Amino acid sequence: MSILVLCEHDGGTFKKTATELLGKATGLAGALGTTVSALVLGDAPAASLGAYGATKVFQVSGDFSSYDTDVAVAALRAGIDAAAPSAVLAPASFLGKDALPRVVAQLGTGQGTECTDLRVDGGQIVGRRPIYAGKAYCDVRVGKTPAVYTVRANSFAQPAAGGGSAEVVAVPFSAPTPRLTLVERKRPETTVVDLTEADRIVSGGRSVKSKESYDSLIRPLAAALGATPGASRACVDAGYAPHDHQVGQTGKVVNPSLYIACGISGAIQHLAGMRTSKVIVAINTDPGAPIFEHATYGLVSDIFETCPALTARIQALD
* Residue selected from 234, 254, 260, 280 as contacting ligand FAD according to rule CB under 6 A: 234
> Quick check: 207 binds ligand FAD (CB under 6 A)?
yes
> Quick check: 263 binds ligand FAD (CB under 6 A)?
yes
Q: Are strands 136-140 and 124-131 parallel, antiparallel or unpaired?
A: antiparallel
Contact 108, 147 (CB under 8 A): no
Residues of this chain, 14-73, that bind ligand FAD according to CB under 6 A: none
* Residue selected from 63, 81, 286, 293 as contacting ligand FAD according to rule CB under 6 A: 286
Instruction: Give me the 96-135 binding string for ligand FAD, x by CB under 6 A, dash otherwise.
Output: ----------------------------------------
Q: What whole-number distance in Å separates Cα of residue 316 and Cα of residue 46?
A: 41
> Quick check: 206 binds ligand FAD (CB under 6 A)?
yes
Q: 248 Cβ partners below 8 Å, 6+ apart?
A: 232, 233, 269, 270, 271, 272, 273, 274
* Residue selected from 50, 53, 146, 251 as contacting ligand FAD according to rule CB under 6 A: 251
* Residue selected from 55, 213, 215, 304 as contacting ligand FAD according to rule CB under 6 A: 304
Q: Are strands 200-204 and 258-262 parallel, antiparallel or unpaired?
A: parallel
Q: How far is the CB of 305 from ligand FAD (least distance, A)?
A: 8
Query: Nearest residue by C-beta to ligand FAD?
Result: 248
> Quick check: 152 binds ligand FAD (CB under 6 A)?
no
Contact 142, 118 (CB under 8 A): no
Between residues 56 and 252, which has the closer beta carbon with respect to ligand FAD?
252
Residue 134's alpha-carbon distances to 198, 249, 262, 276, in angstroms, are 19, 10, 20, 7
Q: Where does residue 183 fall: left (phi above 0), alpha (psi -120 to 50 degrees), or beta otherwise? A: alpha
Give φ, ψ of 257 to 5 degrees. Answer: -75, -35
Binding residues (CB under 6 A) for ligand FAD: these are 205-207, 232-235, 246-251, 263-265, 267, 269-270, 273, 283-286, 289, 302-304
